[in-house]
Amino acid sequence: MRIAMIGSGYVGLVSGACLADVGHDVVCVDFDEAKIEALQAGVVPIFEPGLDILVVRNAEAGRLSFTTDLSSAVASADVVFIAVGTPSQQGDGHADLSYVHSAAASIAEAAKGFTVVVLKSTVPVGTGDEVERIIRQVNPRAEIAVASNPEFLREGAAINDFKRPDRIVIGVEDDWARTVLAQVYRPLRRDRLQVQFTSRRSAEIIKYASNAFLAMKIAFINEIADFCETTGADVQEVARGIGMDARIGPKFLHAGPGYGGSCFPKDTLAFVRMGQDFGSPLRLVETTLAVNEQRKRNMASRVVAACGGSVRGRRIAILGLTFKPNTDDMRAAPALAIIPALLDGGAIVNAYDPQGMHEASLLLPSIDYAESALAAAEGADCVVVVTEWAEFRSLDLRSLKAAMKSPVMVDLRNVFDPAKLAAYGFAYTGIGCGAAP
């Protein structure tokens, strides 16, 4: 199969490299010239474990190439994936579809012969219809079918998620496009993999409903964590107890500072807007969103409390900036709510993140950045764990304590064992573990 991938960001690049790796002939397109130049030189502009090796291997094998020339890539493709961004529209939170619509118009002008156009970007229900309308309007003679194939990969584990997904959802109304897409994914087929063919609109909703459900699960356990703190229970025990129920499952039951990232915040908001637009409100999702935003803001007050009621003039070490480990993605990271609140309170912030400091420095230019967790903790009045990077788990606690001015830790990810921290002499605050009233 000859595949053109429009948009070479987290999703486009991972999908393109993985599809090349299973034998397809893939051209990744982006209008960002610097990104394409870097990729042509074998430099992967994002951090995603294993992606650099995959990109270089497939480029050298001649199955993967990069271009800014959308027309030539589309003209010779059997299948064109649209994997451009769909950020929140400034002001109202609807998904901004301008990149999708513009890609659709360019594809319409360039397509030659039968072409399946596949929406991989996360797009509101009905976008497939609109993309089809745009293509037919721009080029009434285009021989195209439009399908929806939402992507469920997680940053940090993206390659494995793409190659060994729980399921592949293909929303398609056209038999021929269905056959073509079955062929695209045939190399990934294995025993337990479910390929679900649905209507285009169902596929579009499956993506938002999945993200909303997971976001709701996180918001739920966070609320239970607060309740555990008030009532003298331990949310980790409670989560384990409820997660053993196969109907509930153990995943996404880790209490923390609230969800962030490039998908959950924008997708839950866009889903809420869809509900309002269609006159069918999604009240559980609305509440999830409100609860989560409030939670991210509230996290700073835990640090203030741990510092005795004020952070003015205090040195706060932040460990972890990205929205989760194993990515450099800072989009909607809880750190972006917590750190400005600490700065507003008069704190001096020194942060460390294994991969996210470049991205973070663009968004948080007025804080200091350290070379290591221990360097960030030097002279600190309090250390705050914001992202659960694996390297923090193996921190030498004796050295950490020695580096700090006062051994106070606020662990927003429950990385550390409270008893162990207490034994080392830390004043420790975790999430969701309270003393009996």
Pick the closer one to ligand NAD by CB: 162 or 428: 162
Known binding residue 253? Answer is: yes
Amino acid at 227: F
CB of 353 to ligand NAD, least distance (A): 18
The span from the CA of 437 to the CA of 435, in Å, is 6
Known binding residue 66? Answer is: no
CB of 29 to ligand NAD, least distance (A): 5
Q: How many residues does the chain have?
A: 437
HSE value, Cβ hemisphere, 13 Å, CA-based, for 427: 13
The span from the CA of 340 to the CA of 398, in Å, is 30
Pick the closer one to ligand NAD by CB: 148 or 414: 148
Known binding residue 324? Answer is: yes
The span from the CA of 197 to the CA of 173, in Å, is 9
Active site residue 307: no
Known binding residue 420? Answer is: no
The two structure tokens encoding residue 373: 């967790």
| DSSP, res 307 | T
Q: Where are the beta strands (DSSP E) in 262-381?
A: 315-319, 348-352, 368-369
Q: Which residue is nearest to ligand NAD (CB)?
A: 9
CB of 365 to ligand NAD, least distance (A): 21
Walk across the sheet containing 368-369 and list its strands: 368-369, 348-352, 315-319, 382-385, 408-411, 427-429
- Cα dihedral value 119, 69, 327, 381, nearest 10: -120
Known binding residue 401? Answer is: no
Pick the closer one to ligand NAD by CB: 165 or 418: 165
CB of 390 to ligand NAD, least distance (A): 20
- Evaluate whether 75 touches 110 at the Cβ level (below 8 Å): yes
Pick the closer one to ligand NAD by CB: 203 or 410: 203
Known binding residue 426? Answer is: no
Closest CA to 239 of 258, 220, 257: 220
**CB atoms closer than 10 angstroms to residue 323:** 27
Interface positions with ligand NAD (CB under 6 A): 6-12, 29-32, 35, 70, 83-86, 99, 102-103, 121-122, 151, 153, 155, 262-263
Known binding residue 256? Answer is: yes
Known binding residue 115? Answer is: no
- Evaluate whether 403 touches 378 at the Cβ level (below 8 Å): yes
- Cα dihedral value 260, 263, 269, 273, nearest 10: 180
The span from the CA of 414 to the CA of 425, in Å, is 17
Known binding residue 154? Answer is: yes
Pick the closer one to ligand NAD by CB: 168 or 367: 168
| DSSP, res 22 | T
The span from the CA of 276 to the CA of 256, in Å, is 29
Amino acid at 67: T
Amino acid at 64: L
Pick the closer one to ligand NAD by CB: 328 or 381: 328
CB of 113 to ligand NAD, least distance (A): 21
Residue found under tokens 């004796």: 398
- Evaluate whether 170 touches 197 at the Cβ level (below 8 Å): yes
Pick the closer one to ligand NAD by CB: 9 or 354: 9
CB of 189 to ligand NAD, least distance (A): 21
CB of 37 to ligand NAD, least distance (A): 13
HSE value, Cβ hemisphere, 13 Å, CA-based, for 285: 23
The two structure tokens encoding residue 395: 């921190």
Single out the catalytic residue among 28, 228, 263, 433: 263
- Annotated binding-site positions for NAD(+): 30, 35, 86, 122, 155, 266, 331
- Annotated binding-site positions for substrate: 152-155, 207, 252-256, 260, 324
- Annotated binding-site positions: 30, 35, 86, 122, 152-155, 207, 252-256, 260, 266, 324, 331
Q: Which residues are catalytic?
A: 263
